[in-house]
Structure formats: structure tokens, C-alpha cells
């Protein structure tokens, strides 16, 4: 059975479909890239999977995550699923972290829930917090744990946010444009980190981006989304290498042109 | 850039000076209030001097119509003012924060109803509302005054809490916390309360001053703590008849109230900078 099965998902607001007819599946350990230009419904899809759409936005169809039907599920059931089945890394780590809470304490929160879930001794949380910060290659983990979000760099904040997602040990990691807010060098580092973590921990990955070169380095399969509809899907090589749909072709051409421009500089 | 760099240390030290002066003035009142529990210059009810004596070395603030030492009464008034301030703000905070947070989470209909209720209660002057509550209770006592002011303040706290909590609820880190399975009660405790606390604390301090003034007003009107509690408001009221012949009887308690309220306002101003780590930055 698939870890995540999305069937005929539609997401509507005020009688108007923002996403429609969307179907895909992710098997345990598999990596899928969700690509499309800004506003194509990628983040809404991620929120629908977590059962966290805003009240005014209503999903239809079916989303089965780890054997549980998400759409229409009661809050209690969903909250058990979140963290254990899926966790999310967001685009902007500065706003995704509580400004008034030390990073170590923020990281200890999901850790505590996992320790409870697994019936482990809560005394080990502090050591595990430091270990996780080391795991995401943060220098001086002790200092970072004692720092507030504004006291560390953007790249370091994103590493902490990734550590928080890891702390949940989810079966599916959803990364919603996790490198978009970062500079190019940091982007590459964060991608390499996500790549190795997902491999080592055997997690499935739903990687969301509008940036084709970024997506192609980290996923096996891609799904191209346009105005909330699927345009094309398949292995990364064939979809991005020989795109059959005009929209995908234009995305690829745009990415090439951008690369050439960068190379020519 | 440069101007900001130059500007900041100056403003910071001004802020901390405000805080320190406020702390000293409030601390003085607290020290005096605590002292009255074990010692006062005279027995508050003994007629230790002549009637309406002017301030002297024996009686620092003079004596009242019955010859009782006024400084002793003012010291005890300090204790009553603090008792009322702490009690009223405590009650107002407990009720107000609870209802305010609930309103922030409530369904649209209940939220609107609570918001309207806060607005209506706030439209009543605090003092009028407190007078109604005191009038509704059988006997005027220190506790009925505290309860009355606490209820009046709770609407102000509730409205502020609701607005602040709603603002925090919109923030990305709340959604982020939800995606990892943080429960709503836990989110209130670890994210919402700490984020609204700095602003609430400043507000509580200001309300403390408000409560002290309101209590003096209630006592002045005969609705506050009954004798032998020497509230500043009652001292003022008693000195009213002799304000031309013995003005110190009115000046002294008025001055005590003024110092407390100014101290608390300075303290609240300084507090603004303390609760926020992004402003505590020293680099
Ligand atoms: N809370 C909302 N209310 C109404 N429309 C929304 C809301 N959030 C997103 N949308 C709309 O849904 C569409 C898809 O948004 P989103 O999923 O955020 O796109 P992206 O692919 O850039 O992540 C956009 O047109 C956006 O305007
Ligand atoms: Mg998005």
C-alpha cells in the first residue's frame, strides 16, 4: 500500500477550484518532486496532505496518508498523524520559527512527542537535541541550542527547521521550497543535506519547488502542476529531459535560459 | 545606518534609566507596605498628637482631626493600594487572559459576541463599573473593591489578549508547529502566551496604576475599604473639610498616590524593552 495516495483531490474556495483532478502516490522511501510556477497550488496540496488548509478552503476527493483518510478526519486523529506520518519544512525559516523561543527548546518539542510515542525516557531529550543539531551539520550545536532564531544565519535557521522535522522521524518529509529563501551556495548545501538525510533515514520525500534544476538533483519522479491541474508526470529524466507538454517545455526552456545567462556571466 | 548605530545605545540607556527610576519608586512603596506589617511610627488608631498638627519631626506628615499620625496612615495606605493593585490586576488578568484566549479560538459567532461584550464593558468607565459591582454586593469591604476593580479590568485585558492572540495565531510558526503535531493547548502554552506576554505585562503594570487610582476614588466616595483601613482615598476625603486650614492632610496622601502611579508608569515603559529578546540584543 502506498504511504501517500492522493485521489481526485480538489481544493476549492468560494465555489472556485484552486486545485482539481489531482492524483498521485508516494511509496515508502520514494521521492516525488512537485513543480510548477508560483501560484499553481503546490503549497495548498502540501497543506491538504497535512490536513491544515485554512477554514475557508475546502478539499474534496481522497488523501490517504499512512493508511488514514485525511479529508474529513477529526482533528484528534489528524494530530496523531502529523509528525509521525509527515512533517513539513517551509520556505522561510525565520517566520517558521518562534522568535521568542530558544532554538534548542523549539527542537525539543517535536522530540518530546516522538519520545512519548516511542515510550522512551524523556531524560534523553537534551542529548538528542544536540545530536540532531550535529546531524544537520551545525557547528557549535551547544551555542545554537541556546540562541534565538534572529541570532543565527538563514542557512543555520533552515538547518534547525530541518532538524525539527527530523525530530518527528516522519515517514514522509514534505519540503515546501526549502531552499528558495537562501543564497545559491547555501541552497546547494541544504539540498545535499536533505538528500543524505532522506537516504540515511529511509524517509519518503515530497519536494516542492518552482526551480527545475533544484528539483532534478534530489527526486526520482516529478509531477508538473499548472493552475492546480496536473500537466505531466513521470521519471525526472524523461519529463524534464524530453518534455511532451508545452507547459513543461516552457519551464525547461526558462530554466535553460537562466542557466545559460548565469554561465555566460 | 550610522545614525541608527549611534542612536541605539542612547535610547537604550534612557529606557533602562526610566525602568530603574520606576523600579525605585515602586520598590519604595513595596518596602513601606511590607514594613507596616511589623512596624509603624505610631499605632494607627492612637491619638498620639494634637489635632491637625502641621508636619514636624515627631509627625512627618502632621496629624489628622483626631490627632492620629498621618504618616502612619499613609504608610498603611501604601499597603492597601498595593493589595488592591495586585488583587485587582490578578483577578483581571486571570479572567481576561482566559476569556481573551478562548475568544481568539472561538467560532466566528462566539468570538463576535465576546468582542462586543468586551467593547460594551470597556465603554463603561472603570470606576462606574466598579461602583455597580460594589453596590451589588451587600457590604463594602476591601475585598469587594478588589473584586469590583478586577472585573472591570478583565474586560480591558480580555480585549487586548484576544487581539494579540489572534495576531500570533496568524503567524507561520503556528502552522509549522501544527504540522509536527503540536496540540492547541500546547500551542497556547508554549507559543501564544510567551509571545503576547511582554505586551500584556506592560498593560498589567499600567492597569495596576489605574486600579490604585480607582480604589482611591472608590474610598473617597465611601465605597472602598471601610475604617480602620486607611486608604489614601479616605484620607483625602477626611481632609477635605480642613483643606484650607490643614492642607498637608490632603497633600500627603495625594503625593503618595502620585508617586506610586508615576513609578508604575515609568516601570511599565521600561518593561517594554525587557520582555523582548530581539531588543535585549547587546551586539
Ligand atoms: N488562504 C487562501 N485563500 C484564498 N486563496 C488562496 C489562499 N492560499 C492560496 N490561495 C490561492 O491558491 C493558489 C495556489 O496557491 P499556492 O498553493 O500557495 O501556490 P504555490 O504553488 O505558489 O505554492 C493561488 O492562486 C493562491 O492565490
Ligand atoms: Mg508555495
Please provide the DSSP assignment of B112-123 as one string: HHHHHHHHHHHH
Measure A263 CA to nearest chain B CA, in Å: 35
Minimum-distance CB partner of A87 among B175, B180, B195: B180
CA distances from B146 to B35, B92, B211, B214, B265 (A): 22, 10, 9, 10, 20
CATH superfamily of A4-95+171-264: P-loop containing nucleotide triphosphate hydrolases (3.40.50.300)
Higher pLDDT, A12 or B143: A12
ipTM: 0.92
| Non-local CB neighbours of B119 within 8 Å, separated by 6+ positions | B159
Q: Quick check: B86 and B145 in contact, CB under 8 A?
A: no
Q: Quick check: A203 and A173 in contact, CB under 8 A?
A: yes
pLDDT value at residue B3: 39
**End-to-end Cα, chain A, rounded Å:** 49
Q: Quick check: A60 and A12 in contact, CB under 8 A?
A: yes
Atom from ligand 1 closest to the CA of residue A40: 21
CA separation for the pair B80, B232 (Å, rounded): 8
| Non-local CB neighbours of A168 within 8 Å, separated by 6+ positions | A83, A84, A87, A110, A113, A114, B180, B181
CA separation for the pair B140, B136 (Å, rounded): 10
Measure A88 CA to nearest chain B CA, in Å: 6
pLDDT value at residue A174: 98
Q: Which residue has the cell 495516495?
A: A5
CB contact under 8 A, A148 and B277: yes
Atom from ligand 1 closest to the CA of residue A46: 17
Ligand with minimal distance to A36 CA: 1
Rg (CA), chain A: 19
Range with lowest mean pLDDT among B31-45, B100-114, B121-135, B182-196? B121-135
- Candidates A100, A115, A146: best to mutate against B (most CBs of B within 10 A) is A100
Binding-face residues of A in 66-105 toward B, CB within 8 A: 79-84, 86-88, 90, 92, 95-101
CA separation for the pair A126, A122 (Å, rounded): 9
CA separation for the pair B173, A97 (Å, rounded): 5
Structural domain spans, chain A: 4-95+171-264
Does the Cβ of A38 fall within 6 Å of ligand 1? yes
pLDDT at B2 over 50: no
Q: In percent, how much of chain B has pLDDT > 70?
A: 90
Does the Cβ of A58 fall within 6 Å of ligand 1? no
Cα A265 to the center of its chain, rounded Å: 32
Count contacts between A and B (CB, < 8 Å): 77
Q: Domains in chain B and their CATH numbers?
A: 18-35+68-278 (1.10.3720.10)
- Candidates B106, B169, B172, B179: best to mutate against A (most CBs of A within 10 A) is B179
| Non-local CB neighbours of B106 within 8 Å, separated by 6+ positions | B114
pLDDT value at residue B34: 95
pLDDT tens digit sequence for B148-163? 899 989 999 999 999 9
Report CA(A208)–ligand 2 centroid distance (Å): 8
- The cell numbers describing A178, all together, are 526549502
Does the Cβ of A13 fall within 6 Å of ligand 1? yes
Closest-CA residue to B67 (of B238, B182, B221): B238
| Non-local CB neighbours of B236 within 8 Å, separated by 6+ positions | B216, B220, B250, B253, B254
- The cell numbers describing B30, all together, are 513595596
Chain A residue whose CA is closest to B275: A100
pLDDT at B278 over 80: no
CA separation for the pair B162, B141 (Å, rounded): 32
- The cell numbers describing B131, all together, are 461602583
Higher pLDDT, B282 or B97: B97
pLDDT value at residue B276: 60
Ligand with minimal distance to A225 CA: 1
φ/ψ (deg, to 5) at B147: -60, -45
> What does the mean pLDDT of chain B come to?
86
- Name the residue with the closest Cα to ligand 1, atom 5: A13
pLDDT at B37 over 60: yes
Is beta strand A172-176 parallel, antiparallel or unpaired with respect to A204-209? parallel
pLDDT at B245 over 90: no
Residues listed for chain A: 265
Per-block average pLDDT, block size 10, for chain A (265 residues)? 96 95 97 95 97 94 97 95 96 94 97 95 96 95 96 95 96 95 90 95 96 90 96 91 84 80 63
φ/ψ (deg, to 5) at A31: -120, 125
Q: Quick check: B126 and B152 in contact, CB under 8 A?
A: yes
Extract long-range pairs of B36-44: CB within 8 Å, 24+ residues apart. B36/B75, B36/B76, B36/B78, B36/B79, B37/B79, B40/B72, B40/B75, B40/B76, B41/B69, B41/B71, B41/B72, B41/B75, B42/B68, B42/B69, B42/B72, B43/B72, B44/B68, B44/B69, B44/B72, B44/B73, B44/B76, B44/B228, B44/B230
pLDDT at B25 over 60: yes
pLDDT tens digit sequence for B190-202? 999 999 999 999 9
Q: In percent, how much of chain B has pLDDT > 90?
A: 47
pLDDT value at residue B277: 58
Closest-CA residue to A58 (of A17, A29, A103): A17
CB atoms within 10 A of CB B198: 19
Minimum-distance CB partner of A100 among B172, B178, B277: B277
Does the Cβ of A19 fall within 6 Å of ligand 1? no
pLDDT value at residue B275: 58
Does the Cβ of A10 fall within 6 Å of ligand 1? no
Q: With bands split at pLDDT 50, 70 and 90, how would you rate the model's confidence at B5?
A: very low
pLDDT value at residue A47: 97
pLDDT value at residue B172: 95
SS3 content of chain A, % helix, strand, coil (to 5): 45, 25, 30
pTM of the model: 0.87
Does the Cβ of A40 fall within 6 Å of ligand 1? yes
pLDDT at B10 over 80: no
Q: Quick check: B84 and B215 in contact, CB under 8 A?
A: yes
Chain B positions touching A80 (Cβ under 8 A) are 181
Q: With bands split at pLDDT 50, 70 and 90, how would you rate the model's confidence at B64?
A: confident
Q: With bands split at pLDDT 50, 70 and 90, how would you rate the model's confidence at B96?
A: very high
| Non-local CB neighbours of A128 within 8 Å, separated by 6+ positions | A111, A115, A167
Does the Cβ of A47 fall within 6 Å of ligand 1? no
Amino acid at each position: 500500500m502506498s504511504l501517500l495516495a492522493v485521489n481526485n483531490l480538489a481544493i476549492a474556495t468560494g465555489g472556485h477550484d484552486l486545485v482539481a483532478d489531482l492524483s498521485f502516490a508516494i511509496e515508502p522511501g520514494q521521492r516525488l518532486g512537485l513543480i510548477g510556477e508560483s501560484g499553481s497550488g503546490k503549497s495548498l496540496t502540501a497543506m491538504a496532505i497535512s490536513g491544515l488548509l485554512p477554514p475557508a478552503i475546502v478539499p474534496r476527493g481522497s488523501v490517504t496518508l499512512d493508511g488514514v483518510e485525511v479529508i474529513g478526519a477529526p482533528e484528534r486523529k489528524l494530530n496523531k498523524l502529523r509528525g509521525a506520518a509527515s512533517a513539513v519544512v517551509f520556505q522561510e525559516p525565520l517566520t517558521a520559527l518562534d522568535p521568542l523561543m530558544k532554538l534548542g527548546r523549539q527542537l525539543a518539542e517535536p522530540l518530546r512527542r516522538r519520545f512519548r510515542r516511542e515510550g522512551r525516557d524523556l531524560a534523553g531529550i537534551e542529548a538528542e537535541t544536540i545530536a540532531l543539531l550535529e546531524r544537520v551539520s551545525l557547528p557549535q550545536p551547544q551555542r545554537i541550542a541556546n540562541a534565538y532564531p534572529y541570532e543565527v544565519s538563514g542557512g543555520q535557521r533552515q538547518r534547525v527547521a530541518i532538524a525539527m522535522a527530523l525530530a518527528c522521524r516522519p515517514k514522509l518529509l514534505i519540503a515546501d521550497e526549502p531552499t528558495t529563501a537562501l543564497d545559491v551556495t547555501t541552497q546547494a548545501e541544504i539540498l545535499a543535506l536533505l538528500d543524505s538525510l532522506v537516504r540515511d533515514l529511509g524517509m519518503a520525500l515530497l519536494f516542492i519547488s518552482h526551480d527545475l534544476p533544484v528539483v532534478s538533483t534530489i527526486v526520482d519522479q516529478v509531477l508538473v502542476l499548472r493552475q492546480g491541474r496536473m500537466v505531466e508526470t513521470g521519471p525526472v529524466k524523461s519529463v524534464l529531459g524530453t518534455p511532451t507538454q508545452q507547459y513543461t517545455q516552457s519551464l525547461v526552456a526558462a530554466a535553460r535560459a537562466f542557466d545559460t545567462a548565469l554561465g555566460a556571466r | 545606518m550610522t545614525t541608527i548605530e549611534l542612536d541605539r545605545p542612547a535610547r537604550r540607556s534612557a529606557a533602562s534609566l526610566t525602568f530603574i527610576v520606576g523600579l525605585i519608586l515602586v520598590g519604595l512603596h513595596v518596602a513601606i507596605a511590607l514594613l507596616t506589617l511589623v512596624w509603624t511610627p505610631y499605632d494607627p488608631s492612637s491619638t498620639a498628637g494634637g489635632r491637625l498638627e502641621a508636619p514636624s519631626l515627631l509627625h512627618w506628615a502632621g496629624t489628622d482631626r483626631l490627632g492620629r499620625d498621618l504618616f502612619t496612615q499613609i504608610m498603611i495606605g501604601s499597603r492597601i493600594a498595593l493589595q488592591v493593585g495586585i488583587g485587582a490586576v490578578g483577578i483581571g488578568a486571570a479572567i481576561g487572559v482566559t476569556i481573551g484566549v478562548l475568544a481568539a479560538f472561538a467560532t466566528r459567532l462566539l468570538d463576535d459576541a465576546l468582542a462586543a461584550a468586551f467593547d460594551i464593558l470597556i465603554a463603561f468607565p472603570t470606576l462606574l463599573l466598579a461602583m455597580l459591582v460594589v453596590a451589588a454586593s451587600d457590604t463594602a469591604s476591601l475585598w469587594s473593591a478588589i473584586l469590583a476593580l478586577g472585573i472591570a479590568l478583565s474586560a480591558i485585558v480580555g480585549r487586548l489578549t484576544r487581539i494579540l492572540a489572534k495576531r500570533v495565531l496568524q503567524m507561520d510558526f503556528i502552522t509549522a508547529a501544527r504540522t509536527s503535531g503540536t496540540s492547541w493547548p500546547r500551542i497556547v502554552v508554549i507559543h501564544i502566551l510567551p509571545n503576547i506576554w511582554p505586551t500584556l505585562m506592560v498593560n498589567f503594570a499600567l492597569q495596576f496604576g489605574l486600579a490604585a487610582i480607582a480604589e482611591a476614588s472608590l474610598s473617597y466616595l465611601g465605597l472602598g475599604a471601610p475604617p480602620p483601613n486607611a486608604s489614601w482615598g479616605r484620607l483625602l476625603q477626611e481632609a477635605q473639610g480642613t483643606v484650607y486650614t490643614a492642607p498637608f492632610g490632603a497633600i500627603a496622601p495625594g503625593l503618595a498616590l502620585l508617586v506610586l502611579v508615576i513609578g508604575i508608569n515609568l516601570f511599565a515603559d521600561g518593561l517594554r524593552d525587557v520582555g523582548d529578546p530581539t531588543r535585549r540584543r547587546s551586539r
